[in-house]
Structure 1
Amino acid sequence: MVIGREKKSVGRIIPKNNYDLSMPSGNSVAAYVLLKLYYITQNKQFLEIAKKIIESQAISAAENPFAFGYLLNALYLYYQKPTEITIINGKNSELVSYLRKKFLPESITVLVESQSNLEALSKYPFFSGKEFQNDKTTVFVCKNFSCSLPLSDLSEIEKEL
């Protein structure tokens, strides 16, 4: 706020829109992304923050679900344990393209492009036990704490999904 020539700080007041109308609200996007981060890293802090966001909007979302579409996506991801899809080495653009185009709202898909990236990510349970193969793209589909063998054929991947 500027008064004459003198500047006074009154703090930042940022209006917050809780509704997911034509654009999702920041809270809804944050909850959704934090849940995905939780499932990848198993860092409980991400889960706790996401739960607080969801709980803070729960009554309003129950009264008017049409105004909270993206928050409902986050809620769905919270209650429906996601299918984890890990794509190792995206050389086969057909597999990558298929998985990117397929509507899988209950899934978390991660593409790991290089051996060094996989090594850096191997500290997280989401990536443990997965190996990089230079010559082909492999896909792992994990559901209910059980992972498929490495898949490299589109028909095998479709069966697993």
Structure 2
Amino acid sequence: QSLQTKEGRLLHRFREGHSSVAANIDDYAFVIWALLELYEATLETKHLFKALEYQSHVFAYFRDDRDGGLFFNAYDAEALLIRPKELYDGAIPSGNSVAFMNALRLSRITGDVEMDERAHEIYRAFSGQVEAAPTAFTHFLCGLDFAVGPASEVIIAGKMEQPDTQALLKTLRISFAPNKIVVFRSESSEQPDIETIAPYVQPYRSINGRATAYVCSNFKCSLPTNDPDQMMDLLNKK
């Protein structure tokens, strides 16, 4: 059974063979987070396309155009006395905190400046609350740490099935390097799907016939390398 409407919007619950109730901001934020983790684990662009689709729903249906931040319920959902905006991060982070980080990650992956501005709208909406009681907003602070840096972008160009590509990816995955995004530009096709949503990766090609890593910070890149250890040295210097 599907937890989507025929228009592609998420639904909140599935019970006894029936799905219904419009999804709230928490539903969207956590599904997008899961899709971003799936992309980083598999580097299959279909997960990014779906994450971007749902992210567009977030800003279309939950955004507070006047004061910033994201309402808990969509503007066309069942009417409530008020439309709350939740930020407190308990055992489970709030939808606003997760959506803040999601927008930051997507903006770095795609190079979308407008997405970055949307993320900073969320920050500006809640900055006073966070400053007053920072320990109540721990996941939001993770997003803030990612936003102000240092953060890195790692672009890998190569063919997924090749051992040299796998060596670079394995090294990235076994090493703890927070505040980074990884983008894979496949050279197995003439027009990689990733270029559709991240046009800036088009010039990044493999060098010397081997998978190549470009380690960047705010899209300013070090010299490319084919060596996994050198890649990590560059990443750890950012």
TM-score bracket, shorter-length normalisation: 0.7 to 0.9
Relative distance call for 1:127 and 1:61 in structure 2 (3 A) is: same
Residue pairs, 1:125-140, within 5 angstroms = 126-132=200-206, 136-140=210-214
Determine which of 90, 93, 110 is the counterpart of 1:41: 110
Change (3 A) 1:99 1:118: farther
Contact between 1:139 and 1:150, CA under 8 Å: does it hold in 2? yes
1:106 aligns with 2:179: yes
2:78 is matched with 11
What one-letter code is carried by the residue in structure 1 that aligns with 2:171? Y
Rounded to whole Å, the distance in 2 between the matches of 1:69 and 1:101 is 25
Identity rate, percent: 30
Using the size of structure 2 for normalisation, the TM-score is 0.53
Gaps of 5+ in 2: 1-76
Cα drift, residue 144 of structure 1: 5.0
In structure 2, distance between residues paired with 1:118 and 1:68: 42
Deviation at residue 54 of structure 1 after TM alignment: 1.2
- Asked if 2 retains the 8 angstrom alpha-carbon contact of 1:136 and 1:152, the reply is yes
Stretch moving more, 105-114 or 51-60 = 105-114
**Alignment-derived partner of residue 7 in structure 1:** none
Shift in alpha-carbon separation, 1:20–1:126, aligned structure 2, 3 A: farther
Task: Look at both structures and tell me which one has the larger radius of gyration over its CA atoms.
Answer: 1
1:84 equivalent in alignment to 2:157: no
CA distance, structure 1, for counterparts of residue 79 and residue 210 of structure 2: 51
8 Å CA contact 1:137–1:152 kept in 2: the answer is yes
Is 1:93 the equivalent of 2:166?
Answer: yes
Q: Does 1 or 2 have the higher relative contact order (CA < 8 Å, sep 6+)?
A: 1
What is the RMSD of the two structures over their aligned residues, measured on CA atoms?
Answer: 2.9
- Structure 1 gaps of 5+ residues are 1-9
| Alignment correspondent of 2:11 | none
Q: Is 1:26 the equivalent of 2:95?
A: yes
TM-score by length of 1: 0.74
The answer as to 2:143 corresponding to 1:143 is no
Letter in 2 for 1:31: F
1:48-107 CA-partner distances (Å, limit 9, x unpaired): 221121122212211221221211121122222531101233444343122123232232
Match of 1:115 in 2: 188
Number of the residue aligned with 2:229: 155
Paired residue secondary structure (2:205): coil
Q: Distance in 1 between matches of 2:98 and 2:204?
A: 29
Q: d(CA) in 2 for partners of 1:24 and 1:57?
A: 15
Length, aligned pairs only: 151
2:123 to 50, 54, 78: 54
Three-state SS of the structure 1 residue aligned to 2:139 is: helix
Aligned mates of 2:190, 2:172 — CA distance in 1:
20
Structure 2 counterpart of 1:11, which letter? Answer: E
The 2-side partners of 1:80 and 1:17 are apart by 25
